[in-house]
Amino acid sequence: MSTAGQRGRDDTLDLALIKRLKELILQKEYRGYLDALNLALAEVRIEECGESLVPLPGALDPRISFSLVELNVPVAAEERLLLRVSVAEMLNAAQRALPAPYRLVVRDAFRSAAMVWRLHHDYVERMKEADPALDDETADIKVRNFLAMPDDPVPPGHMTGAALDVVLAGEDGELLPMKGDASMFSREELMATFNPDLPPAIQQLRQVLYDAMTGVGFHNYSREYWHYSYGDAYWAVRRQEKLAIYGIPPSTR
C-alpha cells in the first residue's frame, strides 16, 4: 500500500510481525494468533507518562462529532468519551488534515476494565446461543481475537485512553458508507481496513481516513478499519521500538 500516511514510517514498523499476525488471521488460527500476539506484547515496555484523560465534548474541533456505537452493556456516554490530552490534540490535527467536506465522527473511546469484562461476557453468551455446541474455552478464544482483555499481558488500548474508533461523515454530519455489503463478504473481510474487493467508493473513504489519522501519528489496527491508537502497547508492539507511554490512566486505577 503506497500512501502518504505510510511513507516515511515503514522503517519504524515491525513488518515481519505484522505480516505474521495477518497470516494467522487469514488462516483462522485463533489460538496461534493470540499466542503470537501475546508473546510480542510481553516484550513491550510501558512507561506511563501520567498524562490525564480529558472529556472529549469541548476538547475537540467543533467539526468532530459523536455517534457512539450501541453496546449491549450498561454504560453512560460520558464514561466512554474520554481520551488522553495529547491523543485528543492529535485527533484535532487529523480533522484539520482532512480534505473538505469530510468530518471525523467518534464511535467509541475509553473503556473501563469492568466494561470490557461485561462486553466479553455478552459476546461469549451470544456466540454460544448462535452455536450451542461451542464450549466456553473456544468461545473465549474467539472473543479474545477481536476484544483485547484486562488480563492480557498489557492493557487494552481503549482502557489506556489512547485508542478510539472513528469514521467519516460528510458536511451535513451524516455518516458515510464505509462498511460494505454483509451479504457479499464475511465479517472479517468487511472489517479489514484494506480489501481490494470492496467497492472503490468504500476503499477511497477508508483511505482518506487512514491518511489523515496516520499522517498525524496514529496507527491503524488492520483488522478494524475504524480503530486507531497512539502510544499504547498495541501501537508499540507493531513498532521496532516497543515502548508505550500510556498504560492504565492514574485516575482510573
**One-letter amino acid for residue 247 of the chain:** G
**Per-residue pLDDT tens for 109-148?**
999 888 888 888 888 888 898 888 888 888 888 888 777 8
Give the up-direction half-sphere exposure of residue 66: CA atoms within 13 A in the CB hemisphere: 17
Q: Are 83 and 92 in contact (CB under 8 A)?
A: no
Question: What count of residues does the chain have?
Answer: 253
Predicted TM-score (pTM) of the model is 0.86
**Per-residue pLDDT tens for 181-221?**
777 777 778 888 998 999 999 999 999 999 999 999 999 98
Average pLDDT on 53-81 reads: 90
**One-letter amino acid for residue 245 of the chain:** I
Which structural domains are found in the chain, ordered by start? 53-231 (3.30.1380.10)
